[in-house]
Chain A
């Protein structure tokens, strides 16, 4: 460990870090604060690119590439598809908050969580030495190292995720298909009665 960190910090590294941090956090704030869902999606892309930048900085080149391809290239596109398809790109009114006390409590709780995390990490020395290491990183061949680990130590998890993807595809197809008219689920009358606020006890 000392070998890697013994070299001094270089200015380009610091600059890259600052840039990636700025993009990440700026994009995140943008996701949360944008009125328009499409704007949120674009801000999300920014955050993802920032994360990819951080990955590259930390010698995880393969992951950076996968991040951009899968996250920014597939997942966010999927989001955008659904937003456009459903037509929910209208502006949501940010100001309105029907649940009383939600915002202050949310901010408070999250502040405690985040602050607590940082404080605890600081108190714990930010990271401990691992007692066992799966396999050493190889900055010159991170794809190879990653591949070796996935297909040996984590083979079961790999197969499981493959199965998960199949399930996800099947689920998505089922959820998205239009049901035949005779299989309509909840009749409208119940919804009206319940929406009127009757107690169901």
Chain B
């Protein structure tokens, strides 16, 4: 309650950075997905922080919706990974590079 917003925002930024690094560096599709979840959570943390300091429950409502969308996204995303894995028997994204110039 008395923690300055700045501290939480820094944590949020760092979490976002780590998640971004993970997306760029890891080659397993599922791990990449998890890193995306990290980024989403960083955003959620920032939103809740702002809701607290600005006394606006809109921030919390936004987090609520982000949660719902993340769930839907994971559902569909993992469905796609499963469908691709059935053909290729590999979850490494680097093996999918036919659409090239």
Name A residues whose Cβ lies closer than 8 Å to a Cβ of B: 1, 4-5, 7-10, 13-14, 17, 21, 24-25, 28-29, 31-32, 34, 37, 40-41, 44, 47-48, 51, 54-55, 57-60, 62-63, 66-67, 70-71, 74-75, 78-79, 82-83, 85-86, 88, 92, 96-99, 102-103, 106-107, 109-111, 113-114, 117-118, 121-122, 126-127, 129-130, 133-138, 142, 145-146, 149-150, 153-154, 157-158, 161, 164-165, 167-169, 171-172, 174-176, 178, 185-186, 191, 194-195, 201
Contacts and interface: CB of A to CB of B under 8 A. Distances in A.
Given A32-B26, A86-B82, A133-B58, A126 B72 contact: no
- Main DSSP-derived SS at the A contact region: helix
B52 A75 contact: no
B7 A17 contact: yes
- Main DSSP-derived SS at the B contact region: helix
B52 A136 contact: no
A158 B62 CA distance: 10
A92 B48 contact: no
A28 B18 CA distance: 7
A195 B94 CA distance: 12
Nearest to B101: A201
Given A31-B38, A106-B24, A138-B57, A51 B44 contact: yes
B72 A167 contact: yes
Contacts of B10: 118
Nearest to B94: A98
Given A40-B34, A63-B63, A174-B79, 6 more contacts: A5-B53, A57-B1, A74-B71, A146-B64, A158-B65, A161-B72
